[in-house]
Amino acid sequence: LYTLAYESTVTGEPMNVPPVFDYYADTQTHSQSDYDYLVGDYLLAAPVYNEGSTTRSVYLPYADGVDWYYWPNGNPSSQPSGDRFTGGQTVNVNAPMGTLPLFVRSGAIIPMSAAMQYMNQSQPGWMDIHCWPKGDSEFTLFEDDGETWDYLGGDQAKRRMVSSRTEARWDLTIEAKQGTYNPGARDFYVYCYNPGTSVVQSVTLNNVALTQVSDFNAQAQCWRLMPDGRIGVKVPDTGALTAIRVN
């Protein structure tokens, strides 16, 4: 969300927009602006607005090749990816009290760290990068101290993350850090939610094979098949180019 707030100051585009804003070619979105909204490029939120409702009917915008995965409250509705739907249809999903229906667009790259009530409440030693790879997609993470105007003088950090998926492999490239801001020592935990297979031939980091483990605490950089079917890769954030390949 902090990245989206920064992008708003640069482009003028609000963090939250109605679906028609990005999917205007889909005429069905022209009447979907009252209750549903996009959060950046990769999330569609559909809040429950009727008292006592335990389900939510949602129109999923259509774009060529785009799928949507149900991710209520930031958790997949089914393992590992969440229920998958094609765009251009209305779906009815479970949404009991306390549930915010969220849908993730295929190709999504969603970095997340510890929940905080305010900036710099803590400095976690990790960041999760949630991915639903399909085709080519990207996201640029923005970070600064969150408190001063120093970012205007260059004390900021940007990390461009590029995902590319084919039938045979998935590449996630985290480009070298741009800017002088230091987010502190941490590890990246990269998760692929829709691997489509449990057969992984190899995982490499900058063309060097990583060891498969059953526990991320076993090594500083490694990979594992998660119990829920996701592929997880742990790599240290050194600020340098990080090229992950899953074959």
- pLDDT(196) > 90: no
Mean pLDDT (the chain) is 94
28, 57 contact by CB (below 8 A): no
Long-range contacts of 79-83 (CB under 8 A, 24+ apart): 79/228, 79/229, 80/193, 80/194, 80/195, 80/226, 80/228, 80/229, 80/230, 81/132, 81/193, 81/194, 82/193
What is the predicted pLDDT for the residue at 115? Answer: 86
Q: How many CB atoms are located within 10 Å of the residue 35 CB?
A: 14
Q: What are the E-state strand segments in the chain?
A: 16-17, 37-39, 43-45, 55-60, 67-70, 84-86, 89-94, 102-105, 109-112, 126-131, 136-143, 157-165, 170-174, 187-192, 203-205, 208-209, 222-225, 231-236, 242-246
Residues 3-16 have pLDDT tens digits of 999 999 999 999 99
Residues contacting 238, CB < 8 A, separation 6+: none
Find the mean pLDDT for residues 183-208: 94
Type of residue found at 181: Y
End-to-end CA distance of the chain: 31
Q: What are the E-state strand segments in 81-169?
A: 84-86, 89-94, 102-105, 109-112, 126-131, 136-143, 157-165
pLDDT band at 123 (very low <50, low <70, confident <90, very high): confident
Residues 27-84 have pLDDT tens digits of 999 987 689 999 999 999 999 988 899 999 999 999 999 999 999 999 999 999 999 9
- 16/120 Cα distance (integer angstroms): 24
151, 136 contact by CB (below 8 A): no
35, 58 contact by CB (below 8 A): no
List phi, psi (to 5°) of 58.
-135, 130
Find the mean pLDDT for residues 152-175: 96
- pLDDT(85) > 80: yes
Q: Which of 97-111, 119-133, 164-178, 209-223 has the least mean pLDDT?
A: 119-133
- pLDDT(90) > 80: yes
Instruction: Please give the model's pTM, rounded to 2 decimal places.
Output: 0.95
- pLDDT(120) > 80: no
Q: Which residue has the tokens 């259509």?
A: 62
